[in-house]
Homo-oligomer: A and B are copies of this chain.
Amino acid sequence: MGKNITIADVAEELGVSKTTVSRAMSGKGRISEATRQRVKAYMEEKNYKPNIIAQGLAKSKTYNIGVVMPSDYGIEDMSYFHNCLVGLQEMAASYGYDIVLAVCSNNDLGQLKRITSNGKVDGVILMRTLIEDEAVKLLLKQEFPFVVIGISGYNNVIQIEHNHFEGCRELTLMLLMKKLRRIAVIGGSEAHMVTSSRIKGYKAAYGGMDIKLPDGLIYLNQDNPIMIERAVDDIFLKGADCIICMDDAICSVVLNKLRKEDIEVPADIKIASFFDSMILKNNVPAITTLSFDVQEIGKTACKTLIDILEGSRVKNITYLGYKVELKESTR
């Protein structure tokens, strides 16, 4: 690797003290412009990069941000986590921080505990949050700086979230304005905060238009294809005119089921989904979606944590926008 050059080497070579070299790079402390230029020039020439680890030790910082990614994700969440990670990384890098990955489940916080107790990270970002979240409890108890992506249900926790409530309300509203009345909803685990926010938005739309909520058209905890197909059958029996799928994996199952039964979209029933992701990308007909900029939420979460670490005050909850895209499936 060719022995890395250190601050001592630079100092000796230039006939100055390490202090001076350090000051030249940090810009802190008094130093003449002349020597600073001289030092800078030499560092540039020799392509000297200070060792961040040593720098961190001296300042009691690591410049690392721990990101905990759930291990028990569904396949439908992968692109979400991935995009989020890319956003996180980009923002972190631009502030000189790095992302250290931890993979955890709600009942196995081993990785999280490791990085928060062995001094490897300055703060933590939780990529997902549960209503009863052990990671949140741990971090709160340890008084470790952290922010969560998603609404956490705990107050006094810094949260970043797309406005699922508003988004789902607006989507539902637009469907209601198209004279659809019996709109069914198929969603995932009730243990996730997003699920309940979305359902509230859905209900709020009906409430806002003073339209009576149809009975028994909300299907939650639908986490496997069999259940979902059964839900679709049931929805048909009940004469719904539209189905909102709360994620695109669910939507994919629904679409397959409809094809199997020779039910036409949008002629026989309208379909809307969340996330304009790969699964639905090339579907014919194009699917109406409520979508979110996932990289943006990663960036915002990261910036918020860095603000906290550097001592700024931050908002308790930050809401980000959403986008409703009406396409052929609800025409």
A177 to chain B, nearest CB (A): 30
A2-B142, A278-B78, A279-B279 as given contacts; A51 in contact with B111, CB under 8 Å: no
Central interface residue in A75, A98, A110, by most chain B CB within 10 Å: A98
A114-B93, A279-B279 as given contacts; A101 in contact with B82, CB under 8 Å: no
Q: Judge whether A93 and B78 touch: CB under 8 Å.
A: no
Residues of B within 8 A of A69 (CB): 86
A257-315 contacts to B (CB < 8 Å): 259-260, 277-279, 281-284
A52 at the interface (CB under 8 A from B): yes
**Cα of A142 to Cα of B133 in the assembled complex, Å:** 44
A143 at the interface (CB under 8 A from B): yes
A49-B117, A53-B56, A103-B90 as given contacts; A282 in contact with B225, CB under 8 Å: yes
A75-98 contacts to B (CB < 8 Å): 75-76, 78-79, 81-83, 85-86, 89-90, 93, 98
Residues of B within 8 A of A110 (CB): 93
- The copy count of this chain in the complex is 2
Q: Judge whether B82 and A78 touch: CB under 8 Å.
A: yes
Residues of B within 8 A of A145 (CB): 1
**Cα of A111 to Cα of B99 in the assembled complex, Å:** 11
Identify the stretch in A163-171, A212-220, A248-256 within 8 Å (CB) of chain B at 4 or more residues: A248-256
Q: Judge whether B281 and A49 touch: CB under 8 Å.
A: no
A185 at the interface (CB under 8 A from B): no
Q: Judge whether A76 and B117 touch: CB under 8 Å.
A: no
A144 at the interface (CB under 8 A from B): yes
Residues of B within 8 A of A283 (CB): 256
A1-57 contacts to B (CB < 8 Å): 1-2, 4, 47, 49-54, 56-57
A155 at the interface (CB under 8 A from B): no
The listed residue (B1, B89, B256) touching A103 by CB distance below 8 A is B89
A101-B99, A278-B75 as given contacts; A53 in contact with B49, CB under 8 Å: no
Q: Judge whether B98 and A100 touch: CB under 8 Å.
A: yes
The listed residue (B79, B98, B119, B284) touching A120 by CB distance below 8 A is B98
Residues of B within 8 A of A2 (CB): 142-143
A94 to chain B, nearest CB (A): 10
A152 at the interface (CB under 8 A from B): no
**Cα of A217 to Cα of B228 in the assembled complex, Å:** 39
A189 to chain B, nearest CB (A): 18
Q: Judge whether A101 and B101 touch: CB under 8 Å.
A: yes
Contact mask A122-146 → B, CB, 8 Å, 1/0?
0000000000000000000011110
Contact mask A167-179 → B, CB, 8 Å, 1/0?
0000000000000
Q: Judge whether B79 and A78 touch: CB under 8 Å.
A: yes
A86-B103, A101-B99 as given contacts; A75 in contact with B281, CB under 8 Å: yes
